[in-house]
A and B are shown apart, each in its own frame.
Chain A
Amino acid sequence: MFEQLVDGVFWNIALIVFFVGVIWRLITVLVLRSKRIDYSVARNSGVSGAVMANIRGFYPRKEVSARIRLQVIAGYMFHLGLFVLLFFAAPHVKFIAQHITGFTYMTIPYWGFIVASEIAFAGLILLWVHRVLNPVTRLISKRSDHIGTILVFVVMLTGCMALGEASSELRVLHRFSVELLMVYFPFSALMHAFMFIPSRAFTGAFLGRRGVNV
């Protein structure tokens, strides 16, 4: 019963909420965007600033890098690990092909999957421990930051439990936690996964027009 729901109705709901939610939030930004134009005379191109900021944002400025080493290293470990295991692990590629896109693409070998997960786990635990321990992050973190982290952790942990493919219960548990995450995603700080692009673009365009090195 639960298994059928998770594989059927819940999955469809989660998929709709996720895509509609994410697109709706991105559209909100674009619609609001149309209201405002910058009246000042640009010095340089805002578009190139927007593009540059999106690239530049991937590496930390040397002026602060010594102070944020932990966040940067753990952040990269988590995000890269998650990216690789989410989109290139064989079981996920197969699942995505079956349920969403309809086509498969290159996959990484099993050991690559395991290494990626280990790196992602280490990064996520470090990031969360840091969030709680650093007085700054402890003060500014919101409930939704913690819920998001915990949900992602649960998804990863149930995925790990299901690795043995010993029973369908574990698979269903994993899939159910993924559905919870997808439903929560558009309404939480997890949206940064998409929103960082317009944010960097806005700031980059703003600074680019003024001729500041982004």
Chain B
Amino acid sequence: MSTPLERGVDMLKSQVDARVESYFSSCTHCGVCAEACLFYTETDDPRYTPIYKTEPLRKVWQQNFTLWGKLSSSLGLSKPITENDLSDWETLVYDGCSMCSRCTMVCPVGIDIAYLIRKVKEGMAAAGFVPEGLQGASQRALKFGSPMGLTTKGLLTAVGQQKKEHDIDIPVDVVGAEYLLMLSSNEVVLYTEFLTAISKIFSAAGISWTVSSKHFEATNTGVQMGDSVIAAQLLERLLEVASELKIKTVISPECGHAYTTFRWDGPNILGRELPFNVVHIMELLDQLRQDGKLKTTGSFDERLTYHDPCNISRRGGVLEQPRNLLNLVAPNFVEMNDNKEMNWCCGGGGGVSSNERAEPLRLQVFNVKKRQLDELDVTTMVTACSNCRTMLEEGLEENEMDVEVVSITELIADHLA
């Protein structure tokens, strides 16, 4: 039986691939990545330097894959990784990194640091160094289907309530529907307007869609923890319902990591292509706009700005669609100073939001968002990720700022012709 430490180290070893080899071989330790990371700029603590967070992986690579490293470890000259290291780095990678990948964009030698941090998390998860909050969330996800502990019964209740209150149609378990809408529990419990909004837009556009009562959860705690086994288990559930319902396209809701997981990382976690297409709700709405199926009327005249969710913009490539949609209804839309692929994170990505321990730090790094908003003097902030939305609301409240956070889908639905 191997110890947790050995399992972690073995996992880290297995993570070394061409990109890791190339990245670690080219890092000159120039420190530029720190200047892009909100956890460094807002704390001035050099330990939050992005590449420093990858130390455990770098060390395993150095000792097992490089000539000097192999030589000096065989001579017993290098210190192997200890449990202490892992527990120190647990706070660095889970509390001190929101996987926003802003660092990746500025590295002069082109290192995708977020990719490396994601791999460090695999090692951490294998060795059992995962914050309690995340562990709990993933257990609930496996057991009940959602990290918030929301069961399908809860979903059906919510659906029924919305149907009654707003006199709308929410198709459930329709075999042969073109689109399967996935939801994050946030959108079922907290932001119930989202479901109503979607339903209105879809019925106006005449779209054949459904939600699944068997598996509705779009978020993936396995990805946040960095545990590919759990991530794959949760993904398999999606594949199962999609094939049962003969779905052509899966819609990712307003959730950043759900989108990158379905659209980009999922196929690689599973090691095969997905049997359906994946679109983000904003891609779909923008497509409907282009096809003339989305007609709006009136306008939202408040001064507003758009918060790019990292996973949707920088990691997902959905950059212009939200802007096209906003230009339909919001004449006073202004961009933040750093936007699109260089936006600043809300602070709660990468599982930080489910990690209660990280809350003080998360609120501290929210300062950067506060500064961005102070420059603009807006009353409203639109976003396209319900996790960002919660984080932004908490940060605004903490700083006693009078800015309302709105979902883009809801904004559009409010102005349907």
**A contacting B, Cβ–Cβ less than 8 Å:** yes
Chain A interface (Cβ < 8 Å from any Cβ of B)? 25, 28-33, 35-36, 38-41, 43-44, 53-54, 57, 60-61, 63-64, 67-68, 71, 75, 131, 134-142, 144-145, 187, 189, 191-192, 195-196, 198-204, 206-207, 210-213
- Given contacts A29-B22, A139-B52, A187 and B68 within 8 Å (CB-CB): yes
Contact with A along B104-126 (1 / 0, CB 8 A): 11111111100100000000000
Distance of A36 Cα from B107 Cα, bound (Å): 23
Q: How far is the CA of A206 from the CA of B230 in the complex (A)?
A: 24
Residues of B in contact (CB 8 Å), total: 60
Tell me if B's interface is mostly helix, strand, loop or mixed.
helix
A139:B46 contact, CB within 8 angstroms: yes
A-binding residues in B (CB < 8 A): 16-19, 21-23, 25-32, 34-36, 40-41, 46-47, 49, 51-52, 66-68, 104-112, 115, 263-268, 270-273, 277, 313-319, 338, 340-342
In the complex, A200 Cα to B47 Cα: how many Å?
25
Q: Kindly identify which residue among A135, A192, A212 contacts B26, using a CB–CB cutoff of 8 Å.
A: A192
The A interface, classified by DSSP as helix, strand, loop or mixed, is: helix
24 contacts between A and B (CB under 8 A): A30-B18, A32-B21, A38-B267, A39-B268, A40-B265, A60-B32, A60-B106, A61-B342, A71-B32, A137-B29, A137-B30, A139-B47, A140-B46, A140-B49, A142-B29, A144-B68, A187-B68, A196-B110, A202-B18, A202-B22, A210-B264, A211-B319, A212-B313, A212-B314
Closest to B16 in A: A32
B66 touches A187 (CB 8 A): yes
In contact, B317 and A210 (Cβ under 8 angstroms):
yes
Q: How far is the CB of B283 from chain A (nearest CB, A)?
A: 10
**How far, in whole Å, are A67 and B51 apart by their CA atoms in the complex?**
17
Q: A136-B40, A212-B319 are in contact. Are A39 and B267 (CB under 8 A)?
A: yes
Q: Which residues of A contact B107 (CB under 8 A)?
A: 203
Cα distance A144–B68 in the bound complex, in angstroms:
11
Question: What residues of B have a CB within 8 angstroms of the CB of A29 in the complex?
Answer: 18, 21-22, 25
- What residue of chain A has the Cβ atom nearest to residue B270's Cβ? A39
A36 x B17 contact (CB < 8 A): yes
Q: How far is the CA of A135 from the CA of B44 in the complex (A)?
A: 9
Closest Cβ of chain B to A83, distance in Å, is: 16
Interchain CA distance A202-B23 in the complex, whole Å: 9
User: CA of A187 to CA of B62 in the docked complex: distance in angstroms?
Assistant: 11
* A75 engages B30 (CB within 8 Å): yes
Contact call A71/B319, Cβ cutoff below 8 A:
no
